[in-house]
Structure formats: C-alpha cells, structure tokens
Amino acid sequence: MKDEKFLRGLTAGAVLTQWAVMYTSDLTQWRLPFSVELLSAETPGGNLTVILHSIIVLPFLLWVFSGKMENIVNGYGRLYIIRNYSRKKMLLKESRNMLMTVILFQTFTWAVFQAGAREDWEMLTAAEQIRVMSLYALALAATVMLQWLLEFAAGQTVSHMAAVLYYTASLLIYDGVRERGLLKPLFFPNLGFAMRNGALGAEGGETFAGSAACLLAVCVLLLFADLKILDKKDIM
C-alpha cells in the first residue's frame, strides 16, 4: 500500500530539485520557468533540455494519484458499495481531492520559484501569473484523469508509465501538431505551458481563452469517460 505522505514529500523534493536545476540553467528567463519556458531556447537541443527540466516533478505527482481507480474497484470501494455509496460519488470525491492537491502543489511550486527567483528572470504581472498557473494546473489535472482512465485497462504501474510517456511525447512533437487545430486536444499537455497556450499573449496563434476552453473540455471528457467505465466495472 502506498504511503501518500511519503510520496507527497518526494514530490515536494522534486519541486526543489526542479527549482535548483532551472536556477542554474542559462536557458531560463522568466519568473515561473517551470510553466513558461518551452520554445524560449534558441536551439532544438536547448528546447529538449527545457522539456526535460519541465517534467522533473511530473512522475512524482502522478504517482501520488496512481492506484485510485484500482482502490475503488478492488479495494475500499467494495466497503462503500456495501453501504450503498455510489461509485460515481467516490470518483467525483477523488477528482475533487485531486484538484485540491494539484492546486496545493502548484501554490508550493509558485512560492518556491518566487522566493528563489533569479535577479535576471523577467517579472510577470499578477494577471499573467494567474493565467499561467491556472492552465498549468488544468493540464496536470487532465493528465491525472488520463492516468485513471488507463488504470481500468492496464493497471497502476503501466498506466503511470504510459501517462508520463504520453505527456513527454506530446511536448516533443509539438512542432508537428501546432498548426493542426484538431490535433491539439489530443496533445493537451502543450497547453499547460505559457509559451504554447497564449497566457502571455497570442503565442503561436494560441489565445488564453481558447487554450482554457480546450483544457476544460478535455478534463470534462476524461472525467465523463472515467465515470462511464467505472459505472460498468464489476466490483471484485
């Protein structure tokens, strides 16, 4: 059984590691580089480095939420079903708790990077920071819901690895899908970064409102899919 306090501690440590790596990097220039910097590097190798820096926290954060669907189907969910507690209510409760945890970690990350900002990092206005952090959190929440969806078919470990690989691959192939509007929702992790989602202006033709609407739609669709599959899943 997972020790969630330990995993959350590891995730906090990963945030500090990410800050240390980005603080010493010559590729960062914005106040919140973990959620802004993609496409700011001048070379493909530089962008690859920035991508790798940007996903340091992801595996740890996703692991905090892994196994939730297995627990509902095969674990404590059985006890709630006996008490006539709806599986949909269990999933909605997990989703609410997940979103609150994501927001908590984003607040912690924001505080770390604000407190340890380099003097040469460019400032962001309060409105820009809210836009940057909100879309970054939505992209992470959607990735967690995708991981939950995969758990129904592949189990806890495989779904975790698949979600991390999908997130990373989406960032790497951005240049191939950026001009294809219909493909953008399929590679939604890109919309979590300000240089790709319009949070700092209409970067690459994207607008903040369009990116926010797309991410919200992805979250709703993934939650709906999770609910439908869970509703048909047999409690073991």
Residue 127's alpha-carbon distances to 48, 89, 124, 134, 200, in angstroms, are 28, 34, 8, 11, 10
Below-50 pLDDT ranges, the chain: 77, 82, 204, 235-236
pLDDT digits (tens, 9 = 90+) for 23-32: 998 878 888 8
Distance between CA 82 and CA 47 in Å, rounded? 52
Give backbone dihedrals phi and psi of 201, rounded to 5 degrees, phi first: 125, 180
pLDDT of residue 79: 52
CB-facing half-sphere around the CA of 59: CA atoms within 13 A: 12
Three-state DSSP class for residue 46:
helix
Using one digit for the tens of pLDDT, what is the confidence trace for 128-169? 899 899 999 999 999 999 999 998 888 888 999 999 999 999
DSSP line for 145-211: HHHHHHHHHH-HHHHHHHHHHHHHHHHHTHHHHTT-GGGGGGGGGGGGSHHHHSBTB-GGG--HHHH
pLDDT of residue 231: 75
Estimate the crossing angle of helix 208-232 against helix 87-115, to 10 degrees.
Answer: 140
Block residue for tokens 């959190």: 137
Q: What is the structure's pLDDT at 46?
A: 60
- Give per-residue burial for 89-119: e unless 16+ CB within 10 Å, then b: ebbeebbeebbebbeebbeebbebbeeebee
Task: Please state the pTM of the whole predicted model.
Answer: 0.87
In whole numbers, what is the pLDDT of the chain averaged over residues? 83
Residue 236: partners with Cβ closer than 8 Å, 6 or more residues away: 73, 74, 78
